[in-house]
Amino acid sequence: MAKVLSVPEIEAILVSGRFDEFLGAVEDEHLDCKGGPYQLDQDRQKMELAKDVSALANADGGFLLIGPHTEKDPAHLGDEVRRVNCFAANLVDTDQYRKVTGAWMYPSVQGVTVKWWPDATNPAEGIVSIFVPREATRDRPFLVGRVVEETGKVLGSWVGYFERIQSGVKPMSVGEVRERLKDGFRFSELDARLRGVEETLGKLVAPPPRQEPAVPPDMLVRRLGAARAAVGLQERPTMLLVARAQQPVEFPALFESRGTDVVQLLENPPRLRNAGFDLNTRRPSEIIQGELRRTTSAGNKLLELWRDGVLIFIAPGDEWHLCWGMKSDATTGLRINNLALAETTFLFSQLAVKLFEHAVPQPEKVTFSLELAGMTILGKPCSLNPYRPDPYGLWLDEQRRYAPADGRRVAVESERVGADPGVVSYRLLAELYAWFGFEAVEMPYVDRATTPPSIDPNQLR
């Protein structure tokens, strides 16, 4: 099981000097690791330092460690610490690190500490930590910028916004920065009082549930397009999962408060393990036009529930989620990580089954669908094989088959009463594997001792 360290646990290891305890730890929102010191005689490295510190400050704070070296492991989301490179204290000028972050970031991040920690067995060497306290994130957004001058003249300037999302740092495009600035950056959604006002207004303006027998296909297509745009994945490879009731329903508690069971399921969906390929955006939800409730991690994940019985999840179809750790490039095309595919599909099915228990009336049938969209890069289609991914890539190209088209949507229908997430996800994945030319008996992570077969969550852990 992946080792996920809390901020207090990271601090305890640093104080003890037993840095081998970092081995096996997985990077996440509050842990970033660099194998060696930044070369601060270069502007590019100064920018890199400011980018990494600002990314933590624009999330929830945490530790940037210099010394632990990480590598990707396709079995879990997040790079894993494989070794720790200790070095002499004089290789890092902690005061210079503080000055660089102050000069290259606006506003300055308050309370940042840069410290060298000696190794317990060899105190002449150690590692460095840069700590961003959670309290400092209240001043976000933090921007990284620089004015370019020559002979006293301003030649130009540049500015960037970076945010740590799960295990990585995602730059924001110029268009995204412009939209965030236009909307006042919308960090007010993190203020509990404003969320309370939003929920109250949502209940007042919410229209009655639609009375169509089902959401028409063209409406669903529009909703998926809008959701893909909302998370910023409309131009990128994408994985989309949908569950929708086959009769008119509503969720009476959807706009009541963030404390209701329905909203708690959206904000804290089921998961199987640490650093898994789950649905959690780790962001608060918001009411959209009195019609749906959405939680979004920009450029990464979206999970939304419509009051008329449509549940949508969207995640990147590339190395940021579906193809994590699979060494995809323009030559190979996107290599799908079948563990990410199976775990995400199972967890979505599990969430949908739990959510529809709160629908009124409870639907007799629910349609589940899985879609891959935009999965061709530079003319090369995505590919899949039936072997479990391993960190050494031993079976990376064994029996790998390419998709016959840019994308595909598969769907299955299930009775709500007695619906088994393992069976639902098995049926969806069997349809998708068939598209790649595989028989269902070749699929991994399946319990075939049951009738019908089902995806086994114990094999996904």
Strands (E), 93-231: 105-106, 113-118, 125-132, 143-150, 153-165, 168-171
- Which DSSP string corresponds to 343-400? HHHHHHHHHHHHHGGGSBSPPSEEEEEEEEES--BTTBPPEE-SSPP-TT-TTSSTT-
2, 72 in Cβ contact below 8 A? Answer: no
Q: Where are the alpha helices (DSSP H) in 170-324?
A: 174-182, 192-205, 217-231, 261-267
Which residues, 6 or more positions from 357, have their beta carbon under 8 angstroms from its beta carbon? none
Give the separation between CA 40 and CA 36, rounded to whole angstroms: 12
Burial 218-229 (b: 16+ CB within 10 A, else e): eebeebbeebbe
The pLDDT tens digits for 37-94 are 999 999 889 999 999 999 999 988 999 999 999 999 999 888 999 999 999 999 999 9
Q: Which two tokens stand for residue 144?
A: 């990284």
Q: Where in the chain is the domain with CATH 3.30.950?
A: 7-181
Q: What is residue 166's predicted lDDT score, i.e. its pLDDT?
A: 64
Question: Has residue 401 got a pLDDT over 80?
Answer: yes
Residue 190 pLDDT grade (very low, low, confident, very high; cuts 50, 70, 90)? very low
pLDDT reported for residue 197: 46
Distance of CA 180 to the CA centre of its chain: 19
Name the pLDDT band for 186 (thresholds 50, 70, 90). very low
Q: What angle do CA 375, 381, 387 make, to 5 degrees?
A: 90
Query: Is the pLDDT reported for residue 167 higher than 70?
Result: no
Helix (H) or strand (E) run with residue 31 in it: strand 31-34
CA dist., res. 32 & res. 132, Å (int)? 11
CB 362 within 8 A of CB 251: no
Instruction: Work out the angle at residue 371's Cα, subtended by the Cα atoms of residues 366 and 376, and round it to the nearest 5 degrees.
Output: 175
Rounded to whole angstroms, the Cα distance separating 187 from 142 reads: 12
Least Cα distance to 160 among 137, 178, 135 occurs for 178
Range scoring the smallest mean pLDDT among 167-181, 282-296, 443-457: 167-181
Flag whether pLDDT at 160 surpasses 50: yes
- Phi/psi-derived region of residue 286, left when phi > 0, alpha when psi is between -120 and 50, beta in every other case: beta
Residue 371: the pLDDT is 98
- The pLDDT tens digits for 309-360 are 999 999 999 999 999 999 999 899 999 999 999 999 999 999 999 999 999 9
Q: Does pTM surpass 0.85?
A: no
Asked whether the beta carbons of 292 and 202 are under 8 A apart, the reply is no
Q: Given CATH 1.20.1050, say whether it is the number of domain 7-181.
A: no
Q: Give me the pLDDT at residue 161, please.
A: 84
Please check the confidence at residue 199 and state whether its pLDDT lies above 60. Answer: no
What CA–CA distance (Å, rounded) separates 319 from 339? 13
- Does an H or E element contain 413, and which? strand 408-415
